[in-house]
Structure 1
Amino acid sequence: MSIDRPRVLMIGPSRKSQGGISSVVNGWFDSAMPERADIRYLDCSIDGSKFAKLAVGCCSLLKTMLFARKYDLAHIHMGGGNSYKRERLFVKAAVNAGVPAVLHIHDGLFRILWKERSDQAGRERIRETLEACARVVVLSTEMEGYIRSNVSATVRTVCIPNGIVCHSPMLPKQRGTVLFLGHFDDNKNADAIVRAMGLLKERGLAAKAYFCGDGDVDGHLKLVRQLGLEDTCEYLGWVSGQKKQKLLDRCSIFCLPSKNEAMPVSLLEAMSNCLAAVVTPVGGMLDIVDDGITGRFVAIGDEGSLADVLCDLVEHESLRSGIANAGRRKVLESFSVDVTINRVLGLYREVLQEARG
């Protein structure tokens, strides 16, 4: 066992997948982390058919059962949807092999999994899984408090926010441009932005919103057509790499009116690129945004207030740029990838020192 350069079996969705977890993990691998920890990464899922997902998951689970004891610890990344049902098997395999397990919860809907999607027996299995872990990593202080208060006070939680690689922003920004990056569903609530853009159009304000992501795209486009907003709301599909960076360089406002969130990487990326953030006060966004200073909060579903805030930021460039600059400073100080990696490696040392006794 090496505390200075631990051997880590890391398990999560394919690093080629679309989504926040792969973005976070790729940021770690692109930094100095591989020099400070000996990491083997196993894909627990991939983008593709259900059969392909099942085959990859089963293969990686078998490898974990056979080889986990060769590592100092297992670090398992858990997303949303059915991810918990899969990842709990990896936790069990690591614990059965006598290897400390770190479960990293990236799911902003965990409370819904606990409260609405699980019966008594299901909640007991969740509790047992979390209590079996050497640590449970969460992304926000809100989630840390929720698990301790509702799941179990004995779960050893630790809050480690997401971190990103920060680049120098392209300035100046194009005035009146709003950006949404995410999944089109009820939770991300991109429709609220569409309706707010309709209100801005009624006021005669020149603004344009760019929507990027996957999910219920047809429903999103149907609403845009119903409201006659084809000239102010443009859908660009899933974007990544240079295409996403060009949008971050161009746009001046980032909007994410979600009903639940963990800690969206898209928000950190936008703020680091000097976009003024307009978000709802949920999950990790409460830790990132100081209302009126590093971003603006709007209540969930309050499309009138959302339109008012967007109007203020479009019409008053000094207000927008002040919030954007303060937001970038906040990300640089507290949410850079180097800060996150130092905290993760510190967690590894703590876990291994306990295991060594």
Structure 2
Amino acid sequence: MDNILITSPSLDTKDNVSGISSITRLLMSYNTKVNYYHFVLGRKDNSKRGLFWLITQMKTPFKILTFVRKHHISAVHFNIGFEPLSLLRDVFPYFLLYLKGLPLYLHIHGGRYISSIPDSIILRSIIKFFLKKSTEILVLSSTECDYLSLHYPFLFGKKIWVIPNAVEIPKENELKKDYQSEFLNILYLGRIDRKKGLETIARSLNELSDKGISYRFYLCGVGPDKDWFIKQLNGAAYASIIDKGLVYGEMKKEVLSLSHIFLLPSFFEGLPMALLESMGSAVVPIVTPVGSMSVVVQDHENGFLINDDTAITDIIVRLNQERNLLAAMAFRSRKTIMEQFSITRYVDMINEIYCSV
């Protein structure tokens, strides 16, 4: 078996809820054809950037070289989100791995610069370096593949692999759905950050309360804008919040099994694990058509794609009134994940890429 170094933030669910950590955890658990050695790149969700963090980052390139020698690494699966801090943090370790002559599988998990060119010449140069020096490039959707091919002509002739994320799918008897219940259970799952469309969510929750809609809002996650978000809610909406904090393991399964609607009106995304996990648990998504989310969510079929701030309220009011429609869309949502985003299919695709080199 090959010894493959794989990078991601911490795999401990108490430290990180990132999609990169989640998919890395699954891949290491299910892919028995290679020996994975995990190397931590990225900070814990609750840690702050300061002097200690900076010193730690400066040591990373040297640690990764020691790691490669110790474990006799033969290839590197390098996970990254095309965000400014990730690009700046990871470029030097990546450069050293390139100098070692190891095959580099560059796995891009979305980010703002997978669908736009940065203004900064430094960031543009770093992105070109990552792409040029990669042995293989993996992206989450054909949309991202087309974008890279169009805007980075030097990639002509290099294969870009499209490999959507995957999730574990709960059994039918593990779900606790009641589509005729008095309360609609609405879910937000992920990093609590304004860029995720929190202002839109707060406005919609306030409007639902004003209209007398009975709902529970499960707020699941941690992040810098949690206090700000809660302050945006009026009294009735605030009373409807169930603040679960960071959820993982059985608690996460429980919340997903109870939820009816998933909200993510984000400004930019890759292919969020939270979206796939919720749909796999028969939760109807209401999301913006950014990143690769529109590849998974078919508008008015297995969920809703929205382009304006008022749409969420109107959709939830309708689903509250038409519970049979809610149940039917939840069924189609789950069916999409079972057919297209299973972990078994994902592992087979990853191993095909490894074997191509």
Would the alpha carbon gap of residues 234 and 303 (structure 1) be closer, same or farther in structure 2, given more than 3 Å must change? farther
Corresponding residue for residue 354 of structure 1: none
**What code does the residue aligned with 1:40 have?**
Y
Task: Trace 1:49-64 onto structure 2 (pairs within 5 A).
Answer: 49-50=48-49, 53-54=53-54, 57-64=57-64
What is the DSSP-based 3-state SS (H/G/I as helix, E as strand, rest coil) of the residue aligned with 1:321?
A: helix
Aligned equivalents of 1:25, 1:203: Cα separation in 2:
43
Do structure 1's residue 219 and structure 2's residue 231 form an aligned pair?
A: no
Would the alpha carbon gap of residues 278 and 15 (structure 1) be closer, same or farther in structure 2, given more than 3 Å must change? same
Of residues 317, 341, 348, the one that matches 1:311 is: 317
Q: Which runs of 5+ in 1 are unaligned?
A: 352-357
Would the alpha carbon gap of residues 232 and 326 (structure 1) be closer, same or farther in structure 2, given more than 3 Å must change? same
User: How far apart are residue 112 of structure 1 and its match?
Assistant: 7.3
Count of aligned positions = 340
Task: Trace 1:159-170 onto structure 2 (pairs within 5 A).
Answer: 159-168=162-171, 169-170=174-175
Corresponding residue for residue 10 of structure 2: 14
Residues 166-212 of structure 1, C-alpha deviations (whole Å, 9 max, x = no match)? 11141323541110112222320122122112222232222232222
Task: Trace 1:178-189 onto structure 2 (pairs within 5 A).
Answer: 178-189=186-197
**What code does the residue aligned with 1:327 have?**
S
Q: Percent sequence identity over matched residues?
A: 25
Residues 272-320 of structure 1, C-alpha deviations (whole Å, 9 max, x = no match)? 1111111111111111111111111111xx2321111111212211111
CA contact (8 A) 1:45 1:56 kept: no
CA contact (8 A) 2:209 2:236 kept: no
Corresponding residue for residue 22 of structure 2: 23
Larger deviation: 334-343 or 142-151? 142-151
What is the DSSP-based 3-state SS (H/G/I as helix, E as strand, rest coil) of the residue aligned with 2:90?
A: helix
Larger deviation: 332-341 or 86-95? 86-95
User: How far apart are residue 58 of structure 1 and its match?
Assistant: 4.7
**What code does the residue aligned with 1:281 have?**
P
What is the DSSP-based 3-state SS (H/G/I as helix, E as strand, rest coil) of the residue aligned with 1:45?
A: coil
What is the DSSP-based 3-state SS (H/G/I as helix, E as strand, rest coil) of the residue aligned with 2:196?
A: coil
Of residues 67, 84, 87, the one that matches 1:84 is: 87
Corresponding residue for residue 172 of structure 1: 177
Runs of 4+ in 1 over 6 A off after TM superposition: none
Task: Trace 1:1-357 onto structure 2 (pairs within 5 A).
Answer: 5-16=1-12, 17-18=15-16, 19-31=18-30, 33=31, 35-47=32-44, 48-50=47-49, 53-54=53-54, 57-66=57-66, 68=68, 70-79=72-81, 80-111=83-114, 114-116=117-119, 118-119=120-121, 121-154=122-155, 156-168=159-171, 169-173=174-178, 174=181, 175-215=183-223, 216-225=225-234, 228-299=236-307, 302-351=308-357
Aligned equivalents of 1:45, 1:180: Cα separation in 2:
23
User: How far apart are residue 113 of structure 1 and its match?
Assistant: 7.4
CA contact (8 A) 1:257 1:278 kept: yes
Larger deviation: 143-152 or 336-345? 143-152
User: How far apart are residue 337 of structure 1 and its match?
Assistant: 1.3
Would the alpha carbon gap of residues 113 and 85 (structure 1) be closer, same or farther in structure 2, given more than 3 Å must change? farther
User: How far apart are residue 157 of structure 1 and its match?
Assistant: 2.3
Would the alpha carbon gap of residues 242 and 102 (structure 1) be closer, same or farther in structure 2, given more than 3 Å must change? same
User: How far apart are residue 98 of structure 1 and its match?
Assistant: 1.0
**What code does the residue aligned with 1:72 have?**
S
Would the alpha carbon gap of residues 162 and 77 (structure 1) be closer, same or farther in structure 2, given more than 3 Å must change? same
**What code does the residue aligned with 1:130 have?**
L
Would the alpha carbon gap of residues 81 and 241 (structure 1) be closer, same or farther in structure 2, given more than 3 Å must change? farther
User: How far apart are residue 345 of structure 1 and its match?
Assistant: 1.0
What is the DSSP-based 3-state SS (H/G/I as helix, E as strand, rest coil) of the residue aligned with 1:236?
A: strand
CA contact (8 A) 2:215 2:240 kept: yes
User: How far apart are residue 81 of structure 1 and its match?
Assistant: 4.7
The root-mean-square deviation of aligned C-alpha atoms, in Å, is 2.2
Aligned equivalents of 2:99, 2:113: Cα separation in 1:
25
Aligned equivalents of 1:230, 1:252: Cα separation in 2:
19
Aligned equivalents of 2:168, 2:292: Cα separation in 1:
18
Aligned equivalents of 2:152, 2:144: Cα separation in 1:
11
Aligned equivalents of 1:295, 1:327: Cα separation in 2:
7
